[in-house]
Structure 1
C-alpha cells in the first residue's frame, strides 16, 4: 500500500475551500477571514494561502475588494479537480485524499458494462479519505488500451487529473447508479464498514473526451461518516 502522490498544498487548500463553497458551508457573498487569520487556522503560510486564493479567483469562486477582503462567488460551473468526486462528509465538504491499496493489470470483470475494446483493464483499488477520515473504498477499472506501455508505481490524489496529465485522457461525463453491495474481502481495517456487510455503493461508467466509455468503478461509502451528493442546477 502507498500514499497517493500529494497535490501541492496550495492546490489542496483551494480545492478544500471550493468544496466548502459547493456544499454551501461558505455562502455566496460571504467574506472570508482576514488572510493572516485564515492562514493560521489552516496551519499554512500567508504566501501559500494567497496562491490558493489566486487559484479560486481564477476559477471564478472568489472576488477581492481592495481594502475590504476576499468574498465567495458561487457559480454552478466550477472547474474543480474533484468535480466528479461526489462524496462529502455528512456535514458537507471535506478535503479528499487517497491511499493506493493495489494496482494491477487484470481481466475485466464479467459483471461490468462495456468500457472499451480490450479484454483487460488497469484495476486500481484505493481507500479515500475526507479530512483524513477513511470513508470510501474504491475499485476502478480503466480500459487497458488507454494504458499501453506505461507503468503505474504511484497515482495522484486526483485520479482524473492523473489521467489527464499522464494519459492525455479527460473524463468529461459519468453515469452513476446507487445500490447496496457487500464490502469486499480486500477491504483494509482502516475502512470501518466490516467485510461482507452491505453499504451504499456507487457504480460509475465514465466517458472520455470523445464520448466513449473507458472506465467502470465501484465506490463503497461508510455512511456513518459520508454521503453521496449530486446537485442539480
Structure 2
C-alpha cells in the first residue's frame, strides 16, 4: 500500500500510515471508543514494522485521536478539530477513506489561458496535471495552476501533497479554499489508467485557494470517477 521509494519531499512511511488511520477515523470506519487491533496485528495489516506503527500512533495521540490505556490497548477518540496533511483533500473511496497519492503527468510554466478565473498577480503560472489515486486505485485527474509570483515548482522535488510542498519548498501555505462541485466531462489529456474516457460525464470540482493574502493564488479543476469515489465535506 505504501510508497517505499525515497524522494526529496515524499511522506515517510509512518506518516502515510497515520494519514490512512486519520482518514478512516474521519470517515467513521474507525469509530469513537473503538479498540484498535493489537499493535503487532495492526502493523502486519499495514505491512510495516511495529516500531514504524508506534510512530504513526504517536501522531494520532498528539492530535487527540488516540488514547493509550496501559494493559488494555489503544482506543480511537473522536476529535473534529484534528488536522492532517490531506485535510483539504475531499475525495474518498465509496467505502470511505483511502491514502491519497499522485502521478504527475505534466508540469510546465506557461501563460494562463483566458478560460481561467482571476487569481494571483501574474499572467503566467505553473500548470500541473496529475492522476490521483486512493489506496492505489485511480480515482481522479487534476489540473492545477499556481500563480507564477508564488515561486517555481521543481518537478524533481514536488510530492503527492502540493500544500505541504508549498509550505516546505516555497515558503507559503494555503490558508483556505473554496470548492465548486458540479458535473463535467473527462478532459482529452486524461491517461488510460483513468477509467472514464475523454468526454465521459464525471464529478467535477473547481477550487480557488488562498494563502495569507486577500487574493487567491491557486486554481484547480478535478474530474473524479463517481463509480469509485465521492466528494465529502464534513461540517465541524
Distance 2:118 2:101 in 1: 29
Q: 1:96 aligns with which of 93, 96, 100?
A: 100
Distance 1:70 1:109 in 2: 52
User: 2:188 matched to 1:157?
Assistant: no
Q: Which residue of 2 aligns with 1:77?
A: 81
Equivalences, count = 230
Unaligned segments of structure 2, at least 5 residues: 1-5
- Contact 1:100/1:155 (<8 A) preserved: no
TM-score, normalising length: structure 2: 0.94
- Contact 1:88/1:229 (<8 A) preserved: yes
Comparing 39-48 with 3-12, greater Cα deviation is found at 3-12
Unaligned segments of structure 1, at least 5 residues: none
For the residue of structure 2 that corresponds to 1:214, the secondary structure is strand
For the residue of structure 2 that corresponds to 1:91, the secondary structure is coil
| Alpha-carbon RMSD | 1.4
- Equivalent residues in 2 for 1:27-66 (5 A)? 27-66=31-70
Q: Which residue of 1 aligns with 2:3?
A: none
- Equivalent residues in 2 for 1:73-152 (5 A)? 73-148=77-152, 151-152=154-155
Q: Which residue of 2 aligns with 1:9?
A: 13
User: 2:235 matched to 1:232?
Assistant: yes
Q: Which aligned runs of 4 or more in structure 1 are off by greater than 6 angstroms?
A: none
Comparing 216-225 with 101-110, greater Cα deviation is found at 101-110
User: 2:219 matched to 1:216?
Assistant: yes
Return the offset for 1:54.
0.5
Q: Which residue of 1 aligns with 2:189?
A: 186
Comparing 44-53 with 67-76, greater Cα deviation is found at 67-76
Return the offset for 1:108.
1.2
Distance 1:88 1:64 in 2: 28
